[in-house]
Amino acid sequence: MGKLWKGRFKSSTHPLMEEFNQSLRFDHELWRQDIEGSIAHAKMLSEVGLLDKADFKAIQGGLTSIAQDFAAGNIPLDPANEDIHMLVETELTARIGEPARRLHTARSRNDQVATDLRLWTRSKQDLLDKRLAQLELALVKLADREKKLVIPGYTHLQRAQPVLLAHHLLAYVEMFARDRERLADCRRRTNVLPLGACALAGTTLPIDRESTQRKLGFAAIANNSMDAVSDRDFVVETLAALSLIAIHVSRLAEDAILWTSSEWRLARLDDAWSTGSSIMPQKRNPDLLELARGKSGRVIGSLVALLVVLKGLPLAYDKDLQEDKEPLFDAVKTTDAVLSALTEFFPTLTFDQDRATELLSGGFLDATLLAEYLVEKGMPFRTAHDISGQLVRQAEERDVPLSGLTLTEFQAIHPDFTREVYERLDPARAPDFYRSAGSSGRRQVARALAAWKKRLS
């Protein structure tokens, strides 16, 4: 068929220009959306009298057959076609002839690609929401399985206070819930139809954009034709949401890497999710977790790349916008793969109760409980903090836990101590005493688990 714009030029484009300019090698990803949008556009044209019914039926039938061949892998990606839109139109013309030449009425590749990309992005937002929900559920089930296990909670990577492992895991469930909220919010702005904006100014033809909107399931039509073809905010927002997902995944992976390390020994990697060393026979490496952590840079890089592309672009459409797809496609594919793998991985993680007890025994994790015991007796917190600190120093000098100090030693620091203080000096029992909403108390975590099970069921 030749170039869609060949009438303007006397000579052909340079082979290097052909190669540099074409996007089919990656935008073929949009074939489903291109055909879906084209069928809806043709139907609208027939409704307003710009396309007769026979031509519409020919176009619809031709596009449907092309979709079937794409799905079967029977459409070669001929680089002579500049992009997926040209490929589909070339195929359609080869199959149905003259009616295909009417399909592009009241449409430009500018609003066409914007529509295709919104349809694609909307579907992937829904897919990733599903993936996040699956990972959340896997973490909730793991938290429920290990709901009795108490582990050290850390600040500054130093043992700080005892927490339930379930509480730690549910912190990530909260993060992923916010990620889902961001995707849902972004989807609302993605779900706006640009088709009908044409190149940038709209059209003199009597089209019905609302009809196309309904056919494609968009919530609204773009109000400004120049903004419609040049807006990529929805791609930036999606990449920003994926970047935060990547950061949360990276933090979760880092925790699991630490737990399974030979220094922590709190959890064990299943063989199915471990790799070995080519030289050290003893190694059990957490490569999945390290890759999940490492790929966060790739996703964040996609966001930065697109922001730089958009910076300083004049209205309306510019070829720079061809650079929006590869970062988006790669970030979505990467995020999908990481979330899917982690969802399968976490149920296989096993924890060591004895090692958890051992980790709790060092670092005076019950020092804050001791201070709060004194506060309950009416002591100002700063005074209680100071007394607890003195007792920690004394226990450290004697190389014993706080519970290893005698009542006489406690009372030598302050006379308010009674034998009941020892009830607070077992780090494994700390969750029995936490009582604030959202805390790592056993009752609070049990309520949170029940709420998440109900929410994700």
Q: Are 187 and 203 in contact (CB under 8 A)?
A: no
Is the backbone of residue 156 left (phi > 0), alpha (psi -120 to 50) or beta?
A: left
| Closest residue by Cα to residue 77 from 22, 155, 11 | 22
Q: What would the two tokens of residue 207 be? A: 């089209």
Q: Could you confirm whether 277 is annotated as catalytic?
A: yes
C-alpha closest to that of 288 among 366, 228, 331, 348: 348
Torsion of CA 445, 447, 453, 455, to 10 degrees: -120
User: Which amino acid, residue 431?
Assistant: P
SS3 category, 363: coil
Residues 115, 193 contacting (CB under 8 angstroms): yes
* Active-site hit among 11, 156, 278, 457: 156
Lookup result for tokens 């890759």: 291
Choice among 12, 123, 277, 340 that is catalytic: 277
> Measured between alpha carbons, how far is 440 from 151 in angstroms, rounded to an integer?
11
With 0-12 CB in 10 A as exposed, 13-18 as middle and 19+ as buried, what is 20? exposed
Measure the CA–CA gap between 10 and 291, rounded to whole angstroms: 52
Q: What is the DSSP string of 278-295?
A: SS-TT--B-HHHHHHHHH
Q: Report the DSSP pairing between strands 192-193 and 158-164.
A: unpaired
By the 8 A CB rule, do 230 and 315 touch?
yes
The DSSP string of 167-221 is HHHHHHHHHHHHHHHHHHHHHHHH-EE-TT-TTTT--SS---HHHHHHHHT-SEE
Q: How many helices (H) and strands (E) does the chain have?
A: 18, 6
Nearest of 141, 176, 125 to residue 349 by alpha carbon = 141
Q: Which residues are catalytic?
A: 156, 277
